Structure 1
Amino acid sequence: MYGWLFVTPWLLGLIIFYAFPLLSSIYFSFTTYSILQPGEFVGLQNYRDLMNDDLFWKSVSNTIYFAALYVPLSIIFGVCLAMVLNLKIRGMTVYRTIFFLPTLVPQVALAVLWMWLLNPQFGLVNGMLDLFGIQGPAWLGSETWSKPSIVIMSLWGIGQAVVIYLAGLTDISEDYYDAAEVDGANWFQKTVHITLPLLTPVIFFNLVMGVIGAFQQFALPYALTGGQGTPANSLTFYVMYLYDNGFKFFKMGYASAMAWILFAIIMLLTAVIFSTSKRWVHYQGK
């Protein structure tokens, strides 16, 4: 009885703030609910309208483009940076702190900073490219370069993933490296046959979290474009369009349908990653 008594506040919070909104959103996705009006039950009409919504498909393609580019690059750069920061040299704690600092910058402040850096006329990035005789692109003002710009900004803040990779690297036993040293293995062979295989559980975790986070990208593009998704809707991401439908156009039923489609996509991708993990994820002692 005392156990249930102490856990009751948490259960009430779970039911009121998670379970009830979750179940309500399923019902609202089949209605014309608009926050201000209760709406009418329309069945699958919201889902059918989404299939014929050009901006919906544009937001899907933008999000997939970002995820396909950002997730692999974040893993590659994260692992490489973690291996560098794992070297036993003097002052490494300071270097680790420096690389982690960008993750503490709020998304809005990060957007403002990079808008100055990527300014096509007087930005620091194009200024440095001019030193090498390269004419920099318009970056955020270009439909071609806008999403790669978001990827670059997001990669600047991968410090949290790097910390997790560092924890994985420190968990690898030195016995493996000592045995490889006796066998005459060089640095590259140790990395390919010891470090990377034993780091795959951490890579697997960051892959799943990276995919989920990439499909929920919102704050950075919204702050950069003021919610407009310019230029030519090239920065209209899925969650941005969902937010606009729910809180700008008050089409909450339509937005709820989008939310459940996103849930299905993420669940499908996560299931695929988990199903393939047995082939490439290696745990110590197995």
Structure 2
Amino acid sequence: MGSVTSATKNASTVKKTGFLQGLWKRNAVGYLFLLPWLIGLIVLTIGPMISSFYYSLTKFDVISPPRYIGLENYATMLTADPRFLTSLKVTFIYVFSSVPMKLGFALLVAVIMNKGLRGVGFYRTMYYLPTLLGGSVAIAVLWRKIFGGSGVVNEFLLMFGIEAPDWIANPDYALYSIVALSVWQFGSSMIIFLAGLKQIPQDFYEASQVDGASKLRQFWHITIPLLTPVIFFNLVMQLIGSFQAFTQSFIISGGQGGPMDSTLFYTLYLYMKGFAFYEMGYASAMAWVLLVIIGMFTAVLFASSKLWVHYGDGGK
């Protein structure tokens, strides 16, 4: 009886081995093409993430070997680092002011562009250019000049007798000048909204016109519900991107988050801790906290999407 059982196991093993060998032979080329991506994933993503988590539990100044301190970095953030809380506040204000305005403006422009205007391809390209250039250092420097004390904005207002403040140097307005820069980069969201608008069947609008629906009612009861999957996608992407904003604050504030920490983005403070103060363990802990924050907000969006995102198959 034992020999029969052993023979059955050996046959099963041989069968599985043959199946795996056949699978490898059939897909060997595909695995080879996948190999560079897999190596990059392990070396450039998974490996650094594991190292970062380890360093977040240590006191590490880059020069000396890391010393394990447990959760001390995380405790310090919440109890003994007021600038950490300030950076969180500044980032939240930036995210929750820039994202709605950017998406609203992008949707407005997309609706206008969807009306069949002449030269729509040219306008689409021009509106998309700020998205390509807006994250560059050159544009951030230009924005600093535009909103400076003697910048273009103030010179224009002065023509009407309005004396405006130095938007960049004033802590009451500095953050909102960066918000304006973010809203100006609405091109990518606009392109996605425009693609979504073109997928809405015209039959819905024609039927509503027969029923006497106004343009505003068509927008609220046809366009918005059918566009909710696209709105949801843009919202998630813009939310994640806004939490990681760095270049604009770094250049416009001179890398210090000023004036008076009014533009101290979370990522800028993380950079300062890691590369200016050489507190790499603390910076790693901040990175993991940011990951958790982004994950929480993204999870809330996905959970709430069941209530307001409508898909074409009638499901939610």
TM > 0.5:
yes
The aligned length equals 285
- Pick from 36, 44, 52: which aligns with 1:25? 52
1:270, CA displacement in angstroms? 0.7
Which residue matches 1:226?
254
Q: Which moved more, 1:8-17 or 1:64-73?
A: 8-17
1:68, CA displacement in angstroms? 1.2
Between the two structures, name the one with larger relative contact order (CA 8 Å, sep ≥ 6).
1
1:259, CA displacement in angstroms? 0.5
1:264, CA displacement in angstroms? 0.7
Residue identity over aligned pairs, in percent, reads 45
Aligned positions of 1:72-111 closer than 5 A: 72-105=100-133, 106-111=135-140
- Pick from 150, 155, 158: which aligns with 2:178? 150
Q: Deviations over 1:16-75 (max 9, x none)?
A: 111111111111110112222221110011111112101111111110110111111111
- Pick from 81, 100, 106: which aligns with 1:53? 81
Which residue matches 2:280?
252
1:112, CA displacement in angstroms? 1.8
1:193, CA displacement in angstroms? 0.7
Q: Deviations over 1:154-211 (max 9, x none)?
A: 1111111110111111111111111112212121111111111111111111111111
1:110, CA displacement in angstroms? 1.1
Aligned positions of 1:131-170 closer than 5 A: 131-170=159-198
In structure 1, how many angstroms separate the alpha carbons of the residues matched to 2:126 and 2:32? 46
Q: Secondary structure at the match of 1:141?
A: coil
Compute the TM-score of the two structures, normalised by the length of structure 2: 0.86
In the superposition, relative to structure 1, how do residues 101 and 4 fare at CA in structure 2: closer, same or farther (>3 Å)? closer
In structure 2, how many angstroms separate the alpha carbons of the residues matched to 1:198 and 1:90? 26
- Pick from 12, 15, 26: which aligns with 2:39? 12
Which residue matches 2:144?
115
Which has more radius of gyration?
A: 2
In structure 2, how many angstroms separate the alpha carbons of the residues matched to 1:7 and 1:152? 41
Q: Which moved more, 1:64-73 or 1:3-12?
A: 3-12
In structure 2, how many angstroms separate the alpha carbons of the residues matched to 1:200 and 1:57? 34
Which residue matches 2:220?
192
Which residue matches 1:266?
294
Q: Deviations over 1:99-132 (max 9, x none)?
A: 11212225211112212221223x2212232344
Gaps of 5+ in 1: none
- Pick from 283, 308, 314: which aligns with 1:280? 308
Gaps of 5+ in 2: 1-23
Task: State the one-letter code of the partner of 1:198.
Answer: L
* RMSD (Å), alpha carbons: 1.4
1:216, CA displacement in angstroms? 0.7
Which residue matches 1:237?
265
Which residue matches 1:211?
239
Are the counterparts in 1 of residues 137 and 248 from structure 2 also a CA contact under 8 Å? yes
Are the counterparts in 1 of residues 140 and 247 from structure 2 also a CA contact under 8 Å? no
